[in-house]
Amino acid sequence: MVTIAVAGASLAGVQAAQVLRRQGFDGRLVVIGDEPHQPYDRPPLSKEYLTADEPDEERLKLRATADPAALDLDWRLGRAAVSLDLAGSTVVLDDGEAIAFDGLVVATGASPRRLPGQDPGAEAGDGSSAATLLELRTLDDARRLRAAIDGGATRIVVCGAGFIGAEVAASARQRGVDVTLIDAAPAPMDRVLDREAGMAVADLHRANGVDVRLGVKVTEVAAGEDRAGALVTLDDGAELAADVVVVGIGVVPNTAWLDGSGLTIDDGVVTDATTLAAERVVAAGDVARWPNQRFGGSLMRVEQWDNAIDMGGHAARRLLAELDGGQPEPFRPVPWFWSDQYDRKIQLAGVVGPHREIVQGTMDEGRFVQLYADDDGRFCGALCWNRPRQAIQARQLVADGGTLDAARERLG
Amino acid sequence: MKVVVDFDLCESNAVCMNIAPEVFEVRDDDFLYILNETPEPALHEKVREAAERCPKQAITLEG
């Protein structure tokens, strides 16, 4: 029987498994995930999971696998892939099991970057600040943060004002917690937004009572007074007492298990334009880096929910083409993300470009559509605040190669 | 196939409309309208994709 192994049981891996079955793959399908939980959806962890009166973990489950028997998968949950033998077509798990495969989907995701001394497994009461240093990637992380807030944490320092940090700050404020949001960059979400839009995010948080501090770095996190909580020192000399510190300073792709495998590893598993990483091996989701032909073929690694679904499905079809001799197609999506903060829905369709213009609303009113054009004046993306329909229309326009004039007319 | 939307979850992201405009429409009032609750088989794949890609997982397909 033909075996396909899927390393990674989150969104990209599960979607790959689902599409493999839908495309008629009837061989053995082994899905390996290092978390003990049934596959679940991550975006609510920094939002509804923290703000709801009662968090509903049932609702988090990915629907494709909510019924564990549905896709006839051979599960390996709570088990990590630790090495890949390409020549021998075998994945080895942390308990020593070797899984021989005919095809492999690499979808092992990414892990949070950590501050020195940060240990997500630390227990309270050991006298260090480790137990107060949290991160937010997994359900267990979210449970810890939720428990801290439920348990009466009143002061939270959030290091990093990217997606996770900004959303955690907003959710914690909604729970009535005093929040300080710190970032080394001059504006929040600086890696994905233009500076002015980033400052609008800062204003949004300030208007909701967050102490936003930009352009500063954390130099030390020490145990707090009486060994409770933490004392955060910044490079401008400021000291902040906190019950909990949440670190959201980006992620690194989970590729350590592939070292020495022969796959090209460079800030992720590098694939060709069709998501193929090697013969009979594809990669998808946060761990994968590929040349997106729609944007000049530059290598992209996209840490977004929708991309995990899109790329997981594409990689599944690509793998079947590899096994059956079908025609490979390039993966050339238009990126799209959303972030919910307070009553704002922030969406970016396409990519930010050097030229920008607001064609509807204003940043001050928190409801606007801003178009972006690239160096050659070509329409390349749109940022929408509380304008979800326009965000989706913009995404389609970028996909269709629409002009800036067309975008103005359609979205203005 | 019957299309059911949980309107407590729906946030009118309009992802579904972009994938299956025959079935889903977000209008100027920013609310989602279901144009066809029982789409014909030719639309099933699109509708299934729309359900999968809904960021709020608000669309359920029955039958």
Looking at residue A190, what is its pLDDT?
94
Chain B partners of A163 at a C-beta cutoff of 8 Å?
none
What token pair was written down for A368? 């606007």
Distance CA A195, CA A110 (A): 26
Looking at residue A127, what is its pLDDT?
58
Please state the ipTM of this predicted complex.
0.88
Looking at residue A208, what is its pLDDT?
98
Looking at residue A368, what is its pLDDT?
97
Using one digit for the tens of pLDDT, what is the confidence trace for A135-181? 999 999 999 999 999 999 999 999 999 999 999 999 999 999 999 99
Distance CA A29, CA A316 (A): 12
Pairing of strands A288-292, A269-270: parallel
Alpha helices in A107-216 (DSSP H): 139-150, 163-174, 195-207
Diameter of chain A measured on Cα atoms: 66
Tell me how far CA of residue A270 lies from CA of A81, A249, A273, A304, in angstroms. 18, 23, 10, 17
Chain A partners of B55 at a C-beta cutoff of 8 Å?
43, 305-306, 338
**Mean pLDDT across A316-340:** 96
Distance CA A374, CA A381 (A): 9
Distance CA A113, CA A248 (A): 8
Angle (nearest 5°) at CA A43 between A345 and A361: 10
Q: Test A338 with B55 for CB contact under 8 angstroms.
A: yes
Using one digit for the tens of pLDDT, what is the confidence trace for A79-118? 999 999 999 999 999 999 999 999 999 999 999 999 887 8
Looking at residue A65, what is its pLDDT?
83
Tokens 């969104």 -> residue: A11
Task: Pick the residue from chain B with its C-alpha nearest to A395.
Answer: B18
B13 phi, psi to nearest 5 deg: -70, -20
Segments forming the whole domain that contains residue B30: 2-62
- At B25, which CATH number? 3.30.70.20
Chain A partners of B26 at a C-beta cutoff of 8 Å?
388-389
Looking at residue A123, what is its pLDDT?
66
Average pLDDT, chain A: 94
Nearest to A247, CA basis, from A151, A337, A182: A182
Task: Pick the residue from chain A with its C-alpha nearest to B11.
Answer: A388
Task: Pick the residue from chain B with its C-alpha nearest to A393.
Answer: B18
Nearest to B14, CA basis, from A337, A387, A163, A44: A387
**Mean pLDDT across A205-224:** 95
Looking at residue A67, what is its pLDDT?
77
Distance CA A122, CA A114 (A): 13
**Mean pLDDT across A54-83:** 91
For the purposes of burial, counting CB atoms within 10 Å of the CB of A267, is it exposed (0-12), middle (13-18) or buried (19 or more)? exposed
pLDDT value at A125 more than 90:
no
Structural element, H or E, at residue A307: helix A305-324
Contacts of A331 (CB under 8 A, 6+ apart): A273, A274, A275, A290, A292, A310, A311, A314, A315, A318
Tell me how far CA of residue A53 lies from CA of A146, A339, A345, in angstroms. 11, 21, 21
CB A318 within 8 A of CB A366: no
In 3-state terms, what secondary structure has residue A145?
helix
Pairing of strands B32-34, A3-7: unpaired
For chain B, how many structural domains are there in total?
1
Q: Which domains does chain A have, with CATH numbers?
A: 3-111+252-324 (3.50.50.60), 114-249 (3.50.50.60), 343-411 (3.30.390.30)
Q: Test B13 with A393 for CB contact under 8 angstroms.
A: no
Task: Pick the residue from chain A with its C-alpha nearest to B29.
Answer: A389
Chain A partners of B57 at a C-beta cutoff of 8 Å?
41, 63
Looking at residue A66, what is its pLDDT?
76
pLDDT value at A128 more than 70:
no
Chain B partners of A388 at a C-beta cutoff of 8 Å?
11-14, 26, 30
A338 touches B at CB < 8 Å: yes
How large is the C-alpha radius of gyration of chain A?
22
Distance CA A381, CA B15 (A): 16
Q: Test B52 with A309 for CB contact under 8 angstroms.
A: yes
Which has more confidence, A181 or A124? A181
Contacts of A364 (CB under 8 A, 6+ apart): none
Strands (E), A189-341: 211-214, 218-223, 230-234, 239-242, 244-247, 251-253, 269-270, 276-278, 281-283, 288-292, 298-300, 336-341
Other CB atoms within a 10 A radius of the CB of residue A139 amount to 19
Using one digit for the tens of pLDDT, what is the confidence trace for A366-395? 999 999 999 999 999 999 999 999 999 999
CB A210 within 8 A of CB A173: yes
CB pairs under 8 A between A and B: 39
Which has more confidence, A125 or A65? A65
